[in-house]
Amino acid sequence: MEALMIGVSGMRGTVGGTLTPPVVGQMAAAFALWLQSSPRPDPSRPPRIVFGRDSRPSGHWVRDAALSALVASGAEVIDLDVVTTPGVAMMVKHLQADGAMIATASHNPIQWNGLKMLNHQAVALPPEEAERVKQLFNENQPGFVRVGQLIPPQRNSETHALHNKRVLDHVDVLGISTKRFKVVLDSVNGAGCVATATLLSKLGCQLVHLNGTPDGQFQHEPEPTEANLTGLADEVRRQKAAVGFAQDPDADRLAVVDENGTYIGEEYTLALCAKWILSKRPGVACANLSTSRMLDDIAAANGSKVVRTPVGEANVVQAMMKHNAVIGGEGNGGVIDTRIVPGRDSLVAIGYILNLMAATGKTISQLVTEIPRYQIIKTKFECRREDANRAVEAVKKEFASEKIDTQDGIRIDWPTAWVHARPSNTEPIMRIIAEAPDRPTAERKIAAVQAVVGRALK
């Protein structure tokens, strides 16, 4: 299904289909116009925008089309080239920028690309501001300037080094280095290749790097799910490695394979990091409604509490700032420590998991057995947003007598299980997720909701 998706996470489309140079330029011009009229730390100067991209082959022209429109709009543009999405977020504050654009389609296949937008706080735009940018995009009346107001774009190559330094400042480098962990890393030829290899080197790890060329030629489907990581699992077993890590193309998500070559699931990425951080710094942890209740168990064991939010890293980050949270993230493998980057960051996750292994002397499989186990089932199917919204309303009506949360779609809670049904913010799909102590219970709960959805979409 080809579609141009525009929402709080920015814009995504199919390259040469719904995403073309005029469309990219139109969105970049709308973003620049929005920045011009928005409150900024120094409104007397032109908006300063940092721009980064992942390694997709289409990234060259997406970057060029966006930069042309930003410069033509009178913005001061700093081009970071191929860097991770968390790296761009970090550079917003480091360079005192007013916002950022990132050419990425995250975990989507190679035929997709898009633009992600960040504000001066280095987080995705709040819904009302994202809607204003969308309105400006639809109006298509750019604020291009005369030649005297044009500012040549600049290049900056500091991102990888600074990102590594900030992660290293918050882990026990010596403690990890003495372990000489053998690590198999699958960077899916994405934006995380260079920075992550450098980080693991500085942590004294023996690195076996799969798909480590940042050319965007994905050797398997790029979403870090079990079905897509059989090669990583095989290599961990062959190498007798301590752990396997898998990144998505823009390196904001991380999946983990244990020392036996077993994919433990993206939900454990945040759980393991929280197990380490909350043991040292008890406090508030934030996660979205679709994230496993493992986090609640870990928080309770460490004198901490969990605050739940709608899906979307911007919602989690805002809650973290409001509650001064020490750790946060999402069950898709995204871990957030706002001291380093106000967004999901696979490098942070790698550092904290290695720190947990080094400090406890335990393997990944041993650490996993210490965490209460649940079975989580994640399903998705193609669905227009208006159809997904109609399905959510049907579910609300059907389960009105149960405990429900309507912050984001609908989450239904029972004493030992929950189901969350919602339309995606970034793709023309609907997601239905269920969690329970055992798989049969989770399957029954998700089937009950799917039946309602199916009737609503007939």
Amino acid identity, position 316? V
Tell me the residue length of the chain. Answer: 458
Task: Locate 27 and state its tokens.
Answer: 């969105």
Ranges of CATH 3.30.310.50 domains, the chain: 375-456
The count of other CB atoms within 10 Å of the CB of residue 191 is 34
Confidence band of 17 (pLDDT split at 50, 70, 90):
very high
Q: Looking at the predicted structure, is the pLDDT value of residue 332 above 80? A: yes
Q: Looking at the predicted structure, is the pLDDT value of residue 144 above 80? A: yes
Confidence (pLDDT) at 1: 56
Q: Among residues 105, 140, 123, which one has the least CA distance to residue 3?
A: 105
The count of other CB atoms within 10 Å of the CB of residue 193 is 24
Global pTM reads 0.92
**Average of pLDDT values for 190-214?**
98
Confidence (pLDDT) at 43: 86
Confidence (pLDDT) at 458: 81
CA 231 – CA 211 distance, rounded (Å): 11
> Degrees (nearest 5) of the Cα angle 221, 224, 226?
95
Confidence (pLDDT) at 276: 98
Active site residue 106: yes
Which of these ranges, 186-190, 362-366, 413-417, has the smallest mean pLDDT? 413-417
CA 318 – CA 311 distance, rounded (Å): 12
Confidence (pLDDT) at 197: 98
Q: Looking at the predicted structure, is the pLDDT value of residue 117 above 70? A: yes
> Locate tokens 């022209």: which residue?
61
CA 202 – CA 195 distance, rounded (Å): 11
Task: Locate 446 and state its tokens.
Answer: 């998700």
pLDDT tens per residue across span 284-331: 999 999 999 999 999 999 999 999 999 888 899 999 999 999 999 999
R_g (Cα) of the chain, nearest Å? 22
**Average of pLDDT values for 99-125?**
95
**Average of pLDDT values for 149-177?**
98
Confidence band of 349 (pLDDT split at 50, 70, 90):
very high
Choose from 268-272, 387-391, 406-410, 422-426 the range with maximum mean pLDDT.
268-272
Task: Locate 317 and state its tokens.
Answer: 């980050």
pLDDT tens per residue across span 83-110: 999 999 999 999 999 999 999 999 999 9
CA 314 – CA 322 distance, rounded (Å): 12
Q: Among residues 267, 192, 203, 258, which one has the least CA distance to residue 229?
A: 258
Mean pLDDT score of the chain: 95
Task: Locate 382 and state its tokens.
Answer: 């193609």
Q: Is the dihedral of CA 151, 250, 193, 179 positive or negative?
A: positive
Axis crossing angle, helix 193-202 with helix 159-168, rounded to the nearest 10? 40
CA 214 – CA 60 distance, rounded (Å): 13
Confidence (pLDDT) at 72: 98
Which of these ranges, 39-43, 229-233, 251-255, 300-304, has the smallest mean pLDDT? 39-43
Q: Looking at the predicted structure, is the pLDDT value of residue 131 above 80? A: yes
Q: Looking at the predicted structure, is the pLDDT value of residue 231 above 60? A: yes
Confidence (pLDDT) at 313: 85
CA 435 – CA 445 distance, rounded (Å): 9
**Average of pLDDT values for 186-209?**
98
CA 385 – CA 428 distance, rounded (Å): 6
**Average of pLDDT values for 232-250?**
98
Q: What is the 3-state secondary structure (H, E, C) of the chain?
A: CCCCEEECCEEEEEECCCECHHHHHHHHHHHHHHHHHCCCCCCCCCCEEEEEECCCCCHHHHHHHHHHHHHHCCCEEEEEEECCHHHHHHHHHHCCCCEEEEECCCCCCCCEEEEEEECCCCCECCHHHHHHHHHHHHHCCCCCCCHHHCCCCEECCCHHHHHHHHHHCCCCHHHHHCCCCEEEEECCCCCCHHHHHHHHHHCCCEEEEECCCCCCCCCCCCCCCHHHCHHHHHHHHHHCCCEEEEECCCCCCEEEECCCCCECCCHHHHHHHHHHHHHHCCCEEEEECCCCCHHHHHHHHCCCEEEEECCCHHHHHHHHHHHCCCEEEECCCEEEECCCECCCCHHHHHHHHHHHHHHHCCCHHHHHHCCCCCEEEEEEEECCHHHHHHHHHHHHHHCCCCEEECCCCEEEECCCCEEEEEECCCCCEEEEEEEECCHHHHHHHHHHHHHHHHHHCC
Q: Looking at the predicted structure, is the pLDDT value of residue 402 above 80? A: yes
Confidence band of 426 (pLDDT split at 50, 70, 90):
low
pLDDT tens per residue across span 265-280: 889 999 999 999 999 9
CATH 3.65.10.10 fits 375-456, yes or no: no
Q: Which listed residue (106, 187, 290, 424) is catalytic? A: 106
**Average of pLDDT values for 353-375?**
97
Q: Among residues 264, 144, 244, 253, which one has the least CA distance to residue 200?
A: 244
Ranges of CATH 3.40.120.10 domains, the chain: 5-159, 172-369
Class of domain 5-159: alpha beta
Instruction: Give domain 172-369's CATH architecture.
Output: 3-Layer(aba) Sandwich (3.40)
Confidence band of 416 (pLDDT split at 50, 70, 90):
confident
Q: Among residues 101, 96, 76, which one has the least CA distance to residue 151?
A: 76
Q: Is the dihedral of CA 207, 340, 320, 252 positive or negative?
A: negative
Percent of the chain with pLDDT over 90: 86
